[in-house]
Amino acid sequence: MGDRTPVIAGIGLSDHPIAPELDAMQHHVLAMQRALADSGIEKSEIDGYMSTGGGRGTESGVAMAEYLGIDHRWVDSTMTGGSSFEFYVQHATAAIREGYCDTVLITYGSDFLSQQGRSLGTSGFQQPGERVAGALQYEAPYGNVLVGAYAMAARRHMHEFGTTSEQLAEIAVAVRKHAQLNPNARYRDPLTIDDVVSSRMIADPLHMYDCCSITDGGGAVIVTTAERAEDLRTPPVYVLGAAGAQTHWNISQMGDFTTTAAATSGPEAFAQAGVRPEDIDTVQLYDSFTITVLLMLEDLGFCAKGDGGAFVEDGALALGGKLPLNTDGGGLSACHPGMRGIFLLIEASRQLRGEAGDAQVPDAELALACGSGGWLSCIGTVVLGKEHP
Amino acid sequence: MIEVLEQGGHGVPDLTDRPLPQVDNVSSTYWSGAAQGALLFQQCPACGHRQFYPRAMCTACAADTEWKQALGRGTVHTFTVIRQNMASPWDRLLPYVVAIVELEEGPRMMSNITHCDVDDVRVDMPVECYAVAVEDGLAIPFWRPVQSERTERGRSA
Ligand SMILES: [Zn+2]
């Protein structure tokens, strides 16, 4: 067997932030076409497929595989929410190393904004008077919303550590600066800390600008062996570490509202990679809400638990700061079609390939992508590098 | 025991159009307990673990569990004030408090905090449980500040 070190060999984005002419399947297709073109890999080479499904009859991974015409010999439709794509890298890495398949395609596509508008974060998941089964029967009568779950984590963090709304706002402001460099970002107007903390309260203590955008969009990533990537037109991005962990699913079951499963998957991914947080040049963290980023920074070990507020101050997360975050403008300002995990991998890869344009982190050699799924429930961490390990 | 109240009076929530539980084999004990004024949680006779929500086994050791009656007192572990919800009936109830309440016995549950101004809710605030009757075998537990903490201008969630 040749060099089976897993690499990201192709990346592709569909069109965002607003693409009313595309349905979810078309987002998958467009992203796949662009990732194939990016890598130079033929579609017929794909023998592994990973997806949470498309929509309208292709809600499962295998239905989407049929739509794309992929006769895989290895498939995975693990659904951990928005972090599914970081978990896919973990699983693809293992499958490729073991020889279960050689070239894995991961696709995602969503027409969320064009089909459902901005309702995701602030509407219930149930119909009026609906009878709700399972674990949600203990939550549904009380009218919590998606933002509310994150707000309760933020409230507890503020209570235990004195974190402030201004500190959370630093995260939104840094990401907006990067969105201003991205012509495809949803929101590009200048944003200040004052703008954030004086914006409308959605669910205390989270303001409107603490909450991510809702867009259309799609992405595709091709993972293969270092051997296959050798003569491809684009430089490979090496998967140095990939790990996933879960602490709960429904928010009422979160044991410690200030600590996520990144405290497990982060150290594991770092250990696989043989690197430490201080070695990382740029982070792509799931910014569903500002608090998500703050918790991840602590849990991943970029600072001690409780010190996240101080860590993010003074533009630390903006280009030129100590740890540039979400250099594509993130979910907060650029692109969040419901599940954002794949975009973290794509932007991290662009950085390591030196293709990030005005948002390029100079000499970026190590990047970290960390996805959150559910309600801070399932956290997948991926460490990527420019050099062969 | 906890009070079981009729819907709608004196700050007590009117549950019209709220999503409600689809009672199952395990949850029926909990919901019917609430309807009879007993707030129940599960405790494991094998390892002592206490848990909520109710399940068919102990999440710590997988043994069968037993039901225990809570005193109905607790504190707010964390909370949020929902100020935007476009779905019915919640759009008519804004703003309201969603909280995670920690029972004196340990387990935590989601609920609303009623009978006080939304801006008066605090982490660690002592609260007491009551239930709102829905139908035979079903009442929904809610929490309100203990008497000494309650404010006059309180509104329902
Ligand atoms: Zn037990």
The answer for residues whose C-beta is within 8 angstroms of residue A373's C-beta and 6 or more apart is: A80, A81, A82, A83, A84, A339, A341, A379, A380
As beta bridge partners, residue B98 has B80, B112
Q: What is the 3-state secondary structure (H, E, C) of A112-173?
A: HHHHHCCCCCCCCCCCCCCEECHHHHHCHHHCCCHHHHHHHHHHHHHHHHCCCHHHHHHHHH
Count of CB atoms situated within 10 Å of the CB of B67:
13
| Ligand 1 centroid, distance to B106 Cα (angstroms) | 15
Q: Give how far A221 is from chain B: nearest CA, Å.
A: 35
B111 → chain A, closest CA residue: A142
Nearest to B78 among A119, A126, A257 (CB): A257
CA gyration radius for chain A?
19
A380 φ, ψ to 5°?
A: -110, 135
Cβ neighbours for A365, distance < 8 A, ≥ 6 positions apart: A281, A352, A385, A386, A387
Q: Is A75 on the interface with B (CB under 8 A)?
A: no
Q: How many CA atoms lie within 13 A of A244 on its CB side?
A: 26
pLDDT by 10-residue block (mean), chain B, 157 residues: 93 95 98 98 98 98 98 98 95 97 98 97 98 97 87 48
The reply to whether residue B85 touches residue A124, judged by beta carbons under 8 angstroms, is yes
In B, what residues contact A, Cβ < 8 A?
A: 15-24, 27, 52-53, 77-90, 93, 96, 98-100, 108-112, 123-124, 140, 157
Measure B50 CA to ligand 1 centroid, in angstroms: 8
Chain B residues whose beta carbon lies within 8 Å of the beta carbon of residue A162: none
Of B21, B53, B86, the CB nearest to A122: B86
CA distance A211 to A206: 7
| Mutation to test the A interface, candidates B25, B32, B55, B78, most A Cβ within 10 Å | B78
Chain A positions touching B87 (Cβ under 8 A) are: 123-124, 126, 128
Q: Which residue of B has its CA nearest to A136?
A: B21
CA distance readout (Å), A376 to A77, A124, A127, A133, A260: 20, 18, 24, 22, 6
Distance B49 CA to ligand 1 centre (A): 5
> How buried is residue A73: exposed, middle or buried, by Cβ count under 10 Å (0-12/13-18/19+)?
exposed
Which residue type, as a one-letter code, is found at position B48?
A: G
Token representation of residue A217: 């969009």
CA pair distance A33, A234, nearest whole angstrom:
15
Ligand 1 ion local residues (Cβ < 5 A): B 44, 46-47, 49, 58, 60-61, 63
Q: Which member of B16, B81, B140 has the closest CB to residue A204?
A: B81
Whether residues B84 and A137 touch (CB distance < 8 A) is answered with no
User: What is the per-residue pLDDT for B151?
Assistant: 59
Alpha-helix residue ranges (DSSP H) falling in chain B: 27-35
Chain A residues with CB under 8 Å of B98 CB are 142-144, 148, 152
* Closest residue on chain B to A121 (Cα): B85
Asked if A139 is an interface residue toward chain B (Cβ–Cβ < 8 A), one would say yes
Would you write out chain A's pLDDT as a tens digit for each of its 389 residues? 699 999 999 999 999 999 999 999 999 999 999 999 999 999 999 999 999 998 777 889 999 999 999 999 999 999 999 999 999 999 999 999 999 999 999 999 999 998 887 666 677 678 899 999 999 999 999 999 999 999 999 999 999 999 999 999 999 999 999 999 999 999 999 999 999 999 999 999 999 999 999 999 999 999 999 999 999 989 999 999 999 999 999 999 999 999 999 999 999 999 999 999 999 999 999 999 999 999 999 999 999 999 999 999 999 999 999 999 999 999 999 999 999 999 999 999 999 999 999 999 999 999 999 999 999 999 999 999 999 99
| Structure tokens belonging to residue A137 | 């029967």
Strands A217-225 and A6-13: antiparallel
Compute the nearest-CA separation of B22 from chain A (Å): 5
* pLDDT for the residue numbered A117: 77
Closest to A356 in 3D by CA, of A318, A314, A326: A326
Measure in Å the smallest separation between the Cα of B138 and chain A Cα atoms: 12
Domains and CATH numbers, chain A: 6-117+216-239 (3.40.47.10), 145-212+242-384 (3.40.47.10)
Q: Which two three-digit tokens encode residue A21?
A: 């002419």
**Nearest of A280, A289, A303, A298 to residue A369 by alpha carbon:** A280
Q: Is the dihedral of CA A146, A330, A232, A243 positive or negative?
A: negative
Give me the residue spans of the domains in chain B. Answer: 3-148
For testing contact with chain B, the best of A119, A125, A144, A159 (most B CBs within 10 A): A144
- B-chain CB neighbours of A139 within 8 Å are 110
Whose CA is closest to A215, among A61, A125, A330, A126? A330
Closest Cβ–Cβ partner in A123, A130, A145 for B19: A130
Q: How far is B79 from chain A (nearest CA, A)?
A: 5
Query: Which H/E stretch holds residue B136?
Result: none
Coil, helix or strand for A269? helix
From ligand 1's centre to the CA of B59, what distance in Å?
Answer: 7
A116: contact with B, CB 8 A cutoff: no
Query: Angle at CA A123, nearest 5°, toward A122 and A128?
Result: 155
Site of tokens 């696709």? A107
Q: Position A18: which residue type? A: I
d(CA B145, CA B132) in angstroms, rounded, equals: 16
Centre of ligand 1 from the C-alpha of residue A181, in Å: 54
Tell me phi and psi for residue A289, to 5 degrees.
-145, 160
Could you tell me which chain B residue has the CA closest to the CA of A117? B86
Tokens of A48: 């592994």
What letter would DSSP give residue A305? T
pTM for the structure as a whole? 0.96
Pairing of strands B40-43, B50-51: antiparallel
- Residue contact A142–B52, C-beta within 8 A: no
